[in-house]
Structure 1
Amino acid sequence: MTRRYSRITGTGSYLPPRRVSNEDLVSELAERGIESSDQWIVERTGIQARHFVDPEMMCSDLAVPAAQAAIQAAGLQASDIDLIVVATSTPDMVFPATAAIVQNKLGIAGCPVFDVQAVCSGFIYALAVADAMIANGTANRALVIGSEVFSRLLDFNDRTTCVLFGDGAGAVVLEASSTPGILATDLHADGKHVGILCVPGHVSGGKVTGSPLLTMDGQAVFKLAVGVLDKAARAVLAKAGKTEADIDWLIPHQANIRIMQGTAKKLHLPPEKMVVTVHEHGNTSAASIPLALDHAVRAGKISKGQTLLLEGVGGGFTWGAVLLEF
């Protein structure tokens, strides 16, 4: 029996029109009596701008154009898709899944759809799940999307977190193949670190109980992130029988330039082998990796046959990596 594999055949992304520069954000914070500066933000994060949704825009409104771009890039029609997985921590509603809303907006029906919630590692988790479903014959053409409206979760009285995040979506089409595309995946979590990055509120009796805003222990996240990303990267390389020298591009979760640079350094990768979009997008959580991937593909940086290492870390504490041949 011929083994089934999965390959990425199309990528897409979408950013809401409203671009918020550091200067814009600093001005807004000043009106609240909070001091910050472009220099302070850039030195600590590498972020120069991010995109925020308008009040009427929802997670699915970002996911759909990203999905359509990926479907078009793959040379397919929406009706060809037989699985939709959306990675998000900011769904349109408590239920149903944002994936069901995306399915309806794409004008298709019948195929399985669901959301994955692993915060900033969400796209890595979603890609691994879709790869497994294609490998076992459950699906042939999967749409895997990361979409976030993180601006809705931000406390704009906390300058240490509100400057970090942005909104956006990225998507890939993953198709069954007789030749390996995704070479290996590696997923992990450690729930004892729940408190270092979370939105602890929930809905109960029609009211929000607890805080509905993001809280983060930045130093604790930084210390954990570089170490676990290095371990996940080495794990997928070992599973695929590859070495650091085989990596053409590192596409890390775009959280903080210092975490990203630390990860590349541990893998002995030069800076020019790392895809960086954090300066223009900020941290878009589950959307950050597919956003960066699509931008690099459309800029002509990534070409067929190259080996890509994708990795992410997020609240949970979750982390993981995917090694693939593009």
Structure 2
Amino acid sequence: MSRPPGRGGPVQLAGVGTALPGEPVDNARLSARLGIAPEWVETFIGTRTRHFARDLDGGPVRWTLEDLCADAADRALADAGADADDVAFVVLATATPDALMPTTAALVADRLGIDDVPVYQLQSGCSGAVQALALASSLLADAERGARPVALVIGGDVCSKHLDLRQDFRSMPPSQLVNYVLFGDGAGAVALSRAPGAARAVLTRADHRIGGLGRAPGQRVEWFGPADRDSGRPAVTEDYKAVETQVPVMAREVFDTLLDRLGWPAETLGHVLPPQLGGRMTERITRGLRQGLEWEEVSCVADTGNNGNALVFFQLERLLPRLAAGGRAVGMAIESSKWIKAGFAVEATR
């Protein structure tokens, strides 16, 4: 999906906000809790800190996805100088909703005082944030004149609530253990607007495509009900070897396709926002994309952990202050669940 021209001018990034639960948890603290060597986390994952919505010792959930998304959305609206009455619709992307019904999107809207507007929730992993941006930019660009000017786009995940802290981690297979050290929790949001002069940057393009025909899923997150909660299946599994093999290739495909469709020479890029799987994997992908070019990498995962649908918004929060007039940036998000390729492009307006 690409952004249509629309009737109200370019879709602008008017404000951004993020939220992380609690204090950062470093590798020493995490390794002591899990009973594994911190060197394994450093070498294999390369993530320094992450944030958890649940207590690592007692286990209770201290922040819900609704809490984090509402906080991030409130900050994004404030950054845009907007309020609830300006919001035309809400789009929220997550792989870990608080409940199947009501949607977290509807609860967040209610909490922010947003009413009588469409509210959408997309169920997806890391690519969901770009899916939400694509949907919102298309809807906003096609909105009738006189409509409310702001689209509120939110992404977040609370992965830790799906992880069982009572396990014997020393005997756990790597396909399960990786999920305890790779992921974190958090949320992010942007306010999109088509009002003239409302923003520092324009969302030039947002695309996503499924690319996993015939391939087994690289990640699976279960949702248990009363009928199958004692099935013995792990809540989260990941084929990290498949991720290591496939994601760099898919990131390169998205990068090349974006530049081709935009007509942008790679030399004109000022910033690149690579997929944020983990510190080591992101470093590897970035080296493959760079190929001697001088653009600046914008990453967050080594500090935030892989918090799923929040990642793109954390990257955008870091990007916008760095964009010089006329600056160009492209970003990629690859979802291993069924191999979804997503990318977006941003241009500075001033």
Instruction: Determine whether 1:148 maps to 2:166.
Output: no
- How big is the shift at 1:253? 3.1
What is the match of residue 251 of structure 1? 273
What is the match of residue 206 of structure 2? 185
- How big is the shift at 1:184? 2.3
Taking a change above 3 Å as real, the CA distance of residues 191 and 64 of structure 1, as seen in their structure-2 partners, is: farther
* Residue correspondence of structure 1 range 1-326 to structure 2 within 5 A: 4-30=9-35, 35-37=36-38, 39-54=39-54, 55-137=61-143, 140-154=149-163, 156=165, 157=169, 158-176=176-194, 181-189=202-210, 190=212, 192-203=214-225, 205=227, 207=229, 211=233, 213-268=235-290, 273-297=296-320, 300-303=321-324, 305-314=326-335, 315-326=337-348
- Between 121-130 and 249-258, report the one with greater CA deviation: 249-258
CA distance in 2, matches of 1:15, 1:135: 31
- Between 215-224 and 237-246, report the one with greater CA deviation: 237-246
- How big is the shift at 1:302? 3.6
TM-score (norm. length: structure 1): 0.89
Would the aligned equivalents of 1:52 and 1:166 in 2 still touch at CA under 8 Å?
yes
Could you list the runs of 5+ residues in structure 1 that have no partner in the other structure?
none
Would the aligned equivalents of 2:66 and 2:107 in 1 still touch at CA under 8 Å?
yes
Report Cα offsets for 1:47-98 as digits up to 9, x if no partner. Answer: 0110001314210100111111111111111221111111111112112221
Taking a change above 3 Å as real, the CA distance of residues 155 and 237 of structure 1, as seen in their structure-2 partners, is: farther
Would the aligned equivalents of 1:48 and 1:279 in 2 still touch at CA under 8 Å?
yes
CA distance in 1, matches of 2:264, 2:178: 38
- How big is the shift at 1:159? 2.8
Would the aligned equivalents of 1:5 and 1:176 in 2 still touch at CA under 8 Å?
yes
Report Cα offsets for 1:120-170 as digits up to 9, x if no partner. Answer: 111011111111111222674111111110111235534322100000111
Percent identity of paired positions between Structure 1 and Structure 2? 28
Would the aligned equivalents of 2:73 and 2:189 in 1 still touch at CA under 8 Å?
yes
Would the aligned equivalents of 2:16 and 2:316 in 1 still touch at CA under 8 Å?
yes
Would the aligned equivalents of 2:272 and 2:295 in 1 still touch at CA under 8 Å?
no
Taking a change above 3 Å as real, the CA distance of residues 191 and 116 of structure 1, as seen in their structure-2 partners, is: farther
Would the aligned equivalents of 1:230 and 1:267 in 2 still touch at CA under 8 Å?
yes
TM-score (norm. length: structure 2): 0.83
Taking a change above 3 Å as real, the CA distance of residues 304 and 116 of structure 1, as seen in their structure-2 partners, is: farther
Equivalent residue letter for 1:172: V
Equivalent residue letter for 2:296: K
CA distance in 1, matches of 2:242, 2:281: 12
- How big is the shift at 1:255? 1.1
